[in-house]
């Protein structure tokens, strides 16, 4: 019986071991983050274990699952919610609400790193912050069930321009849109993913409609845009 548990043949044993580690980490995260959030993870892990039992030893799978749980317990550092000071780089600008990452928070008189993205609701809804700037804010840190996982409701904030060693093409795109007075259009925001020129109320309405994901620029969006432009030009120029 022990031989049956230990011996399995599969062409991709690493894949199943990696999946077990990831599910172990996810289980610990769900236990800490959300009440009863571990239930779907347990069901998923059980299903994966049963499905992969013909390819890899269940005992081996469980060993890697436990390794994932232990690794998450050791490395996971979640700050407590409450009043904090935060300093970070703005990765998504805008008015009223921005997103920052690679920051540090001051809790209990000690600065600790907080690399994940943080959504910051500015105290001044009309204030505008830009990507690349450094923001300092003090406010209430909250957890969210959707990405970004953290939110800070700011009471006081300040921004300064960051130092850029390498200039990215984004400045060229911004200049081109500004030249033709297109920077404050929703179409430009969808294509470039830059929402900083859209006012807070418009962004809130778009979010309430459930279509805010349109601003998440990805290879798929660019591919669709290229296909549309290419097909249109081919039809008009080549008939």
User: pLDDT tens track of the chain, all 239 residues?
Assistant: 444 444 455 455 778 888 899 999 888 888 877 777 788 888 988 888 888 888 888 888 899 999 999 888 877 777 878 889 999 998 887 778 888 988 899 877 788 888 788 999 999 887 878 877 899 999 999 888 777 788 999 998 988 876 655 545 555 566 666 666 666 666 666 666 666 666 667 777 776 776 666 666 555 566 666 677 777 777 776 65
Q: Give me the pLDDT at residue 53, please.
A: 83
Report the predicted TM-score, pTM, of the whole model to 2 decimal places: 0.54
Task: Establish how many alpha carbons lie within 13 A of residue 234's alpha carbon, considering only the half-sphere containing its beta carbon.
Answer: 6
Cα 130 to Cα 50, 89, 104, distances in angstroms = 49, 10, 19
- Who contacts 149 (Cβ-Cβ below 8 Å, separation ≥6)? 33, 116, 117, 143
pLDDT of amino acid 5: 44
Q: Residue 180's pLDDT is what?
A: 65
Which tokens is 128 given? 């505008």
What pLDDT sits at residue 188? 67
Provide the CATH topology of domain 82-160: OB fold (Dihydrolipoamide Acetyltransferase, E2P) (2.40.50)
* Helix residue ranges, H only, 34-183: 38-52, 58-75, 170-179
Query: Domain-by-domain residue ranges, the chain?
Result: 2-75, 82-160, 170-238
Phi-psi region of 94 (alpha: psi -120 to 50; beta: other; left: phi over 0): left
Tell me what pLDDT residue 214 has.
62
At residue 147, the pLDDT reads 72
**Token pair belonging to 87:** 């300093």
């Amino acid at each position: 019986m022990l031989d049956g548990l230990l011996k399995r043949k599969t062409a991709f044993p690493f894949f199943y071991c990696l999946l077990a580690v990831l599910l172990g980490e996810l289980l610990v995260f769900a236990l800490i983050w959300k009440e009863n959030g571990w239930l779907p993870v347990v069901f998923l892990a059980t299903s994966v274990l049963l499905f992969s039992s013909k390819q890899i030893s269940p005992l081996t799978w469980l060993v890697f699952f436990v390794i994932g749980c232990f690794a998450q317990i050791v490395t996971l550092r979640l700050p407590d919610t409450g009043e904090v000071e935060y300093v970070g780089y703005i990765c998504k600008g805008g008015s009223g609400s921005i997103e920052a990452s690679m920051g540090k928070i001051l809790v209990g008189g000690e600065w600790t790193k907080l690399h994940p993205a943080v959504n910051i609701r500015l105290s001044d809804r009309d204030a505008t912050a830009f990507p690349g700037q450094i923001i300092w804010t003090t406010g209430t840190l909250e957890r969210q069930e959707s990405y970004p996982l953290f939110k800070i409701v700011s009471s006081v904030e300040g921004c300064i321009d960051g130092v850029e060693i390498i200039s990215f093409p984004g400045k060229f795109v911004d200049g081109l849109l500004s030249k033709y007075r297109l920077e404050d259009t929703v179409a430009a925001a969808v294509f470039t993913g830059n929402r900083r020129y859209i006012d807070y109320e418009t962004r809130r309405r778009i979010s309430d409609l459930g279509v805010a994901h349109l601003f998440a620029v990805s290879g798929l969006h660019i591919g669709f845009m290229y296909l549309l432009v290419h097909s249109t030009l081919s039809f008009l120029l080549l008939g």
